[in-house]
Homo-oligomer: A and B are copies of this chain.
Amino acid sequence: MTGSPHLRRPATLASLAAELGVSRTTVSNAYNRPDQLSAPLRERVLEAARRLGYPGPDPVARSLRTRKAGAVGLLLTEALSFAFRDPGATGFLEGLALACEKAGTGLLLVPVSPEHSDVDAVYQAGVDGFVVYSVSEDDPHFQAVLQRPLPTVVCDQPSGVQGVDRVGVDDRAGMLALGRHLSGLGHRRVGVLCMRLGARRQDGPADLDRQTGSTYSVQRERLAGLRDAFDEVGVDWADVPVHERFEHSEEAGAAGAKALLDARPDITALVCTSDLLAIGALREARERGLRVPEDLSVAGFDGIPEAERIGLTTVRQPFRDKGREAGRLLLERGDRNTSEQVTLPTELVEGTTSRALRQSGEFFSGW
């Protein structure tokens, strides 16, 4: 396999046409509308192209002319590489990739450093539309996307703008179900470990203002759902310790659980707003000799494979379907002008990390 001389100064459609003594249209047609010229002529064109090393019409020039890029852009909160570490994001990406594949569309991962605020990358992306995955509502990159006159679908966040489609789950309802599960088991002294609530790094207790004022709707909604559930049984949410972690990782979960349990060793259930955090929390519980679920119930949210494997009590959501749906919304939108909102179902998974409270708490009055 020796291949062609690489990186040769490329021929153009025009130079090919000149060489052959035909018009540019004819060459163009040879590639794009084979039915518009005779088979022999077409073969002559293609043969000459091969000979001159013409790789076919330049995609950028074609895009400019046709106003189609043949790709969709994906904007993620975190550093790009995060997409390949977070199991939820990975599932979403897989679904989105599936949809793109099916449509023969490229998927452009837009480079975004969370700190380094180079919104430029968004303006530079040659795409036909954007998918925005779980970013803060006031994220400048997201704002930049909205500036571009392109169809956009957001996932796990409010669409914010007319004409922007949305796909997500009912986080509040999902968490309400989980909260009821725990309150039904008799838990009244509960602690909460959640993901970042603001763009600025902050690790530690999150007061009520911070909870309700979060620009991350997913976290806001999940916390609200949990609050709903415990309101129902008369627990004052002001007494519920909520601990926030900026990073989303097992380590962060372990560290957050440690801080939470150090401050409030009396809690009987620890609810984490993601499985990754919950898995870290389980580790910390083990670390300090707490048996789960005997001494402490632990629950997560997401239903990632690892959680399933270890039997975590959680709320399962269909990541892959969310990605696929986002792709469908973007790629199969005719020329509608309406915004679509797709809400996918969640499912409570009662695992082995939660169980009914024994009569240990003076607040407990069930059964």
Contact = CB atoms under 8 A, between A and B. Distances in A.
Interface of A: 1-10, 53, 55-64, 69-71, 73, 79-81, 83-85, 90-91, 93-95, 97-98, 100-101, 103-113, 118, 120-121, 123-126, 137, 146-152, 158, 160-164, 337
Contacts of A151: 7
A330 B112 CA distance: 19
Nearest to A91: B84
Nearest to A6: B163
A148 B55 contact: yes
Given A1-B161, A7-B337, A53-B149, 12 more contacts: A3-B161, A6-B149, A9-B149, A55-B149, A59-B124, A59-B126, A60-B60, A79-B101, A80-B97, A81-B101, A84-B97, A101-B111
Contacts of A59: 123-126
Contact of A107 (B9, B53, B108, B161): B108
A108 B107 CA distance: 5
A106 B111 contact: yes
A100 B109 contact: yes
Nearest to A104: B111
Contacts of A148: 55
A97 B81 contact: yes
Nearest to A90: B84
A70 B124 contact: yes
A127 to B, nearest CB: 8
Contacts of A62: 124
Contacts of A164: 3, 6
A278 B1 CA distance: 33
Contacts of A79: 98, 101
